[in-house]
Amino acid sequence: MKAITMVLLVLVLCPVLLHGRARPEEPAPPIDERKTWRVGVLPFDAAGLTPEQRSLARSVPMLLLETFAGLREHRLSEDERDAQRRLILDAAVVSAGSALDREIRARDRLLFTDVTREVREERLEAAEERVAEARARFERLEAIQPAQIEVAARKPLEIRPSGAELLPVGVSPREIARRERLDYVFSGSIRPLDDEYLILEIYGYSAAQQRTLLRDTEILRPEEVLELIDGVVGRVAEAVLGRPWANLTVRSSQPDAAVLVDGMLYGFGAVTIQHLEPGRREVTVTYEDREHVETMVLLPFERAELTVEFAAVEIGTIVIESEPRGADVYVDSVWMGRTPIAVNRPQQPSTVLLQRDGHHSSRFVVGPESPEVITRQLASDIVGWSEQTRMQRDRFYRSLGFFVVSLPAPIILNGVYDNLFTLLAAEPVPDDADRLRRTGNTVYWAYWGSVGVSSGLFVNMAVQLVRYIRAAESYHFH
């Protein structure tokens, strides 16, 4: 009965096992491991330029790098994504082919190894399995279509090398793209057309498509570079972004007004936001408890402007008085007049400074909750701060001199003690040895006494230095 059961079980399971073994493994497409879009700029060729014009050959590519630093991501076109897919698949196929070639060579070398027949057959069997696995992996990759590989439509922008530096000179865009693993390389040249005009050329090389995608040529005078370079940089920025762009400038009548675009804070007062994606944008300008919201439609390559006016609000005044009168009044380092004086009540904490000759200064903070009248008593400056500073300076230098003068004593005494100790070890006469020992003890304690004196003078010098610094700070801030 048990034998019949085992036979039936084998008959049932064999087709399942055979079907599972015969089922081909699903081909796994390679993964795009490049998470960023890498861009670099080569130094521009400056052949034929005068020494005065050669600075353009560096300033223009550095301006490109400065522009790239403000960009965040690159939008890949369908051609770029297809090229990336083919590049990834080709690299995976080449890698799998190299692995298959290595396994075949390793198997063939086993035929010439000096081992027994049984060992050779065992090793050959294992090598054949590895060759079969490598060949299957290679065939699976060859069966994959480029469209099966996932490539992100947007990638964060990365400038190479880091630190806003140009790429090494004397290397072709193709070679530097391979060496630095770049996706896009910009190069160019500035050369004279004649005695009056220059030719500015900028090229953009795509590593995945292995061809130059951008060619921009401008003929201009040297003095026109600053006027026309914005257009050139704009076209290069479009290539780096992979999309059109638009600039938006928002101005507010209040310098402390916050400017937000699509909920993101960009600055205060007057703000210029460059290389936005064209389309509908919600601009919000807030000042205190007031808010202005406006929806704008940015067109490609438009330089839009928006001005927001906030009506003035009565905020009241604060009267500042002093005893005695006539003190200069500074609010956040801006001179407002002399006491008594009425100043506008600030909506945020501001620092007020009162100064009058012959008196100590007074510093305090005012804000929205400050009283309507503020009076400050200015103490008489019997001893001027400049005189106190000079006194503390003299004390510090005097203490420094004493400390420096005290330094040779412990150094000399330590050397004398070392010499006496050496003589004592070599002295065979007991009386002379006792005399050297007594002298050494005297020098030893004199050494420690001089160390104590120097330490005390050093502490005194440090104290005088702190007092001198405090006096100098008081002189500047009072």
User: Is the pTM for the entire model greater than 0.95?
Assistant: no
Task: State the Cα–Cα distance between residues 233 and 218, nearest whole angstrom.
Answer: 12
| DSSP string across 262-322 | TTEEEEESSEEEEEEPSEEEEEEEEETTEEEEEEEEEPTT-EEEEEE--------EEEEEE
Are 174 and 181 in contact by the 8 Å Cβ rule? The answer is no
Task: Give phi and psi for 381, each to the nearest 5.
Answer: -95, 85
pLDDT at 18: 40
CATH 2.60.40.10 fits 246-308, yes or no: yes
Helices and strands: H and E segment counts in the chain: 9, 20
Q: State the architecture of 37-76+153-241 in CATH terms.
A: 3-Layer(aba) Sandwich (3.40)
In the chain, where are the structural domains located?
37-76+153-241, 246-308, 317-377, 385-477
Instruction: Say whether 246-308 and 37-76+153-241 share the same fold.
Output: no
Spatial CB neighbours of 51, under 8 Å, sequence gap ≥ 6? none
Q: What is the residue-averaged pLDDT of the chain? A: 84
Confidence at residue 382, expressed as pLDDT on a 0 to 100 scale:
58
Spans of the chain, pLDDT less than 50: 1-24, 474, 476-478
Joined together, the tokens standing for residue 292 give: 């202005």
Please tell me the distance from the alpha carbon of residue 223 to that of residue 231, in angstroms, as a whole number.
15
Q: What is the pLDDT of residues 381-418, one digit of tens each?
A: 755 566 767 787 888 888 888 888 888 888 888 887 77
* pLDDT score of 19: 43
pLDDT at 296: 94
Give the max Cα distance, the chain. 123
